[in-house]
């Protein structure tokens, strides 16, 4: 558990604008598409932010590049270490290679093989440690201490939050009349960044977070305004956290309007719906905002709703399970 007093200060809207200026040198804006078939299925006007079209197939790349761009040459030469279930690790590996830094990624032993291969292909030293993310994180922190490297928290890092928040800035630059934005929550960087931008631009935009019922720690912490542990059993590794990150939570407590939890069946159904109706591949975490919108169909009927499709890194085994469900 990280005490609130030890947390770094949260990023500001100005930090997001600065991150946007950095990232435009490295990444093109991702598409924002409307699909009439999804409109019919949900009863809303749906705009999908395709973060699955990023070079690593996930939104986390925005944060990794923004973080690495802000390090000094001395810090880069010492290297960084982080813990990840996959997409954050890919982001750090990709950005480290881009800026010539060493990266060590501590991952759970059951990590998604598609994401492991991508991390290694980007030159990262990938180390399998522990049965789940929390154990991998503790191993990563020990590696940082023992090898003199900088540990990069996947949640409690302002530069990551400011970087990933640029996806919502892009949405509202292109479609400023959005009524609601739905964002997945694993560690919470994406949802906290999205809330920061949406409320900074238009306080009337409704911000909604979604996590898995099988891994509800982030929801419980938001609901109770306190640190909470919970079972971590979801198959959606992008949502698989057993304890919350308190820097994103502190932002969500102030700015988030609503939090939804969805079942494994709803996640898989949303992956199939994206594949069938939008001809796009979403991992279960990336499909969770669509699952939440289907749950909130009556409440958001007729509204213009943006969904952050956070990633498309689904393994062949996961995809078979989804199609056979």
Class in CATH terms, 4-59+159-324: alpha beta
pLDDT at 68: 97
Give the CA angle between residues 41, 308, 112 to the nearest 5°: 105
Q: Residue 1's pLDDT is what?
A: 53
Stretches in the chain below the pLDDT threshold 50: 3
pLDDT at 85: 83
DSSP 8-state code for residue 4: G
pLDDT confidence of residue 59: 97
Which residues, in sequence order, are bridge partners of residue 261? 211
Percent helix, strand and coil across the chain, each rounded to 5? 50, 15, 35
As a whole number of angstroms, the distance between CA 212 and CA 289 comes to 11
Measured CA to CA in angstroms, residue 91 lies from 9, 28, 65, 180, 185 at distances of 22, 16, 7, 27, 17
User: What pLDDT is stored for residue 113 in this prediction?
Assistant: 87
Task: List the Cα angle 161/11/140 in 5-degree steps.
Answer: 45
Predicted TM-score (pTM) above 0.85: yes
CATH 3.40.50.1100: which residues of the chain? Answer: 4-59+159-324, 61-154
pLDDT recorded at residue 282: 98
pLDDT number for residue 112: 86
> How is domain 61-154 classified at the CATH fold level?
Rossmann fold (3.40.50)
Distance of CA 108 to the CA centre of its chain: 18
Task: Please give the full DSSP string across 28-76, using - where no structure is assigned.
Answer: PPPPEEE-HHHHHHHSSEEEEEEGGGSTTSBTHHHHHHHHHHTS-HHHH
Kindly calculate the radius of gyration of the chain based on its CA atoms and give it in whole angstroms.
18
Query: Which residue matches tokens 């949260």?
Result: 10
Alpha helices, DSSP H only, in 148-245? 158-164, 166-174, 189-201, 217-224
Q: What is the pLDDT of residue 110?
A: 87
């Amino acid at each position: 558990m990280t005490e609130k007093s030890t947390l770094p200060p949260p990023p500001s809207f100005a930090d997001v604008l600065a991150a946007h200026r950095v990232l435009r040198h490295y990444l093109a804006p991702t598409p924002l598409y409307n699909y009439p078939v999804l409109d019919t299925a949900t009863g809303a006007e749906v705009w999908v932010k395709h973060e699955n079209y990023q070079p690593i197939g996930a939104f986390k790349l925005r944060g990794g590049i923004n973080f690495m761009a802000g390090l000094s040459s001395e810090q880069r030469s010492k290297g960084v270490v982080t813990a990840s279930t996959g997409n954050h690790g890919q982001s750090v590996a990709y950005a480290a290679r881009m800026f010539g830094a060493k990266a060590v990624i501590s991952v759970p032993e059951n990590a998604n093989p598609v994401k492991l291969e991508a991390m290694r292909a980007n030159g990262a030293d990938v180390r399998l440690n522990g049965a789940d993310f929390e154990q991998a994180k503790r191993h990563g922190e020990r590696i940082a201490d023992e090898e003199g490297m900088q540990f990069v928290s996947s949640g409690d890092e302002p530069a990551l939050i400011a970087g990933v928040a640029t996806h919502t800035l892009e949405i509202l630059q292109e479609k400023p009349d959005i009524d609601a934005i739905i964002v997945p929550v694993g560690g919470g960087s994406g949802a906290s960044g999205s809330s920061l931008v949406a409320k900074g631009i238009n306080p009337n935009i409704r911000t909604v977070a979604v996590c898995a019922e099988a891994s509800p720690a982030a929801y419980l912490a938001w609901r109770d305004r306190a640190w909470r542990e919970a079972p971590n059993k979801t198959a959606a590794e992008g949502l698989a956290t057993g304890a919350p990150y308190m820097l994103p939570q502190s932002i969500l407590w102030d700015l988030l309007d609503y939090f939804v939890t969805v079942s494994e069946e709803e996640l898989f159904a949303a992956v199939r719906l994206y594949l069938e109706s939008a001809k796009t591949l979403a991992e279960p975490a990336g499909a969770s905002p669509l699952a939440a919108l289907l749950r909130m169909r009556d409440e958001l009927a007729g509204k213009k709703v943006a969904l952050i499709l956070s990633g498309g890194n689904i393994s062949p085994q996961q995809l078979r399970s989804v199609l056979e469900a």
